[in-house]
Structure 1
Amino acid sequence: MKGLLVSGFAAIGAGSGAMLSLHAGSDLDPFHSVISEYVWQSAGWLLPASLTLFAAGAALIAEAVRRAGMSRWIVALLLAWGASMFLIGAFPTDRPGVPLSLSGGIHRYAAFAAFLVMPVAGMLLARARIRYAGAMRLLSGLALGALVLVVIPYVVRMFGIPLSNDDIPAGLTQRFVVVTELAVLALAGLALLKPSARRAVSAVMA
């Protein structure tokens, strides 16, 4: 169990490092530019690498959660988040101004799925009354609120109203969702790190 959790934390940390390196070497404005656009930068390969590491971290922590005897729904949601992260990296978004392609469509809907399932997993984890339940509930609520802000511009465009990312803080809201969801994933692992905490979780789920 401890090996799974430590490996999961290492994957999340390495993925975060790759993401920060990608941002540091780019001239894009993180306030308006969404993360997906960084794939077209010179170090754009760091984006799929980072997302793949996040996916690996989610899979490792999901296995630890399963071994702790927690709900299958929580395990499935964590795995779904990891699979979505992998798909986001494997299918890059389209360049700005280009019509939506198959790759861009997979990328977009995988991102929406990832943004949605982690807060739900966090709420279920909080209901299990494990350690950091209050923080998980707060972070999940914040992530859902920010997700609404991420989705609104797409809905507005569906009605033919021109709205570009330069008009709104699209990059900021998206990054807020990502950071809060990574925090939920990390807290899920931290909650199981101590043997006493794992025994308490198993008792609650029983």
Structure 2
Amino acid sequence: MVAGPVCDELGGMRGLLVSGFAAIGAGSAAMLALHAGSDLDPLRSVISEYAFQPAGWLLTASLTSLAAGSVLIAEALRRAGAGRWVVVLLLAWAASMFLIGAFPTDRPGVPLSLSGGIHRYAAFAAFAVMPIAGLLLARARIRYAGAVRVLSGVALAALVLVVIPYVVRMAGLPPADDDIPAGLTQRIVVVTELGVLALAGLSMLRPARRAVPGLAQA
């Protein structure tokens, strides 16, 4: 009598994960298409600048798809017994990604606007919360915990490199643009955080063989 509801729950969780991966795949494909059709230097041009390219609408589409994928994976993790903070952080990442797409940044050389401010701080929030969620999941010893821990550490280290130019500029010492591979460091953060999200989902498709103590408290 219990097997039916349990199978239904597992099937529902698997459906959420598959849908989440599909959304992440679509978002990643849109981002790659946007880069392929642009002549910007990905090492120095931050992703936000691609909004001003002819196919700039792909940026909003990509970020919205990634946000949707994160929501679906967060719900799957919740059903699997993941801790409240892990779920909250993944939802915060999703909300931040949506805001990044909904509020475009300002064109280079233009004073910071309300939209640009929301975009900037939403991006920082997204970059900060995913590594924390990853470290919590790694501490709960999910499958792929080691890889999740490494990716989270790399994301945090790259985030520091992303923030340093802003701190330097606030100190009145603007570095030359050619000296800052801002596009590279930002992309390292994005790729590693997507890796954390993907591994979190994969860990639910193939749960650890032994019990994971403390998963619900992570």
Provide the TM-score with structure 1 as the length reference. Answer: 0.96
**Matches of 1:87 and 1:205 in 2, distance apart?**
29
- Post-superposition offset of 1:166: 3.0
Task: Find the aligned partners of 1:164 and 1:74 in 2 and give their Cα distance.
Answer: 38
**Equivalence for 1:143:** 155
- Paired residue type of 1:32: R
Say if 1:149 and 1:193 are closer, same or farther in 2 by CA, change over 3 A. same
Whole-Å separation in 2 of the counterparts to 1:22 and 1:84: 20
Counterpart check, 1:182 vs 2:204: no
Superposition deviation, residue 164 in structure 1: 4.4
Structure 2 partner of 1:89: 101
Measure, in 1, the Cα distance between the counterparts of 2:208 and 2:22.
Answer: 21
Q: Which aligned pairs between 1:147-186 and structure 2 lie closer than 5 A?
A: 147-186=159-198
Deviation at 1:165, TM superposition (A): 3.4
| 2:91 aligned residue | 79
Q: CA deviation at 1:201?
A: 4.5
Match of residue 50 from structure 1:
62
- Check the 8 A contact 1:56/1:82 in 2, yes or no: yes
| 1:31 and 2:40 aligned | no
What letter matches 1:132 in structure 2? Y
Separation in structure 2 between the aligned mates of residue 100 and residue 198 of structure 1, nearest angstrom: 51
The 5 A counterparts of 1:93-112 are 93-112=105-124
| Cα distance in 2, alignment partners of residues 108 and 204 from structure 1 | 33
CA distance in 1, matches of 2:192, 2:108: 27
- 1:202 & 1:61 partners in 2: Cα distance? 21
Distance 2:176 2:126 in 1: 23
Structure 1: state its 5+ residue gaps.
Answer: none
AA aligned to 2:216 is M
CA gap of 1:198–1:16, structure 2 versus 1, over 3 A, is farther
Unpaired runs of 5+ residues, structure 2, are 1-12
Is residue 205 of structure 1 aligned with residue 216 of structure 2?
yes
What is the distance in 2 between the residues matched to 1:14 and 1:201?
A: 31
Task: Say how many residue pairs are matched.
Answer: 205
1:115 pairs with 2:127: yes
Q: Taking structure 1 as reference, are residues 179 and 52 closer, same or farther at Cα in structure 2, changes over 3 Å only?
A: same
Identity %: 80
Deviation digits for residues 73-130 of structure 1 (CA, Å, limit 9, x no counterpart): 0000000000000000000000000000000000000000000000000000001111
Note if 1:4 corresponds to 2:11. no
Amino acid paired to 1:149: L
**Residues 23-82 of structure 1 deviation map (CA, whole Å, 9 limit, x = unaligned):** 000000001000000000000000010000000000000000100111000000000000
How many Å apart are 1:160 and its aligned residue? 1.2
TM-score of the two chains, using structure 2 as the length reference = 0.90
Aligned-residue Cα RMSD (Å) equals: 1.6
Structure 1 ranges of 4+ moved more than 6 A? none
Could you say what secondary structure the match of 2:204 adopts?
coil
Query: Matched residues in 2 for 1:30 and 1:2: separation?
Result: 35
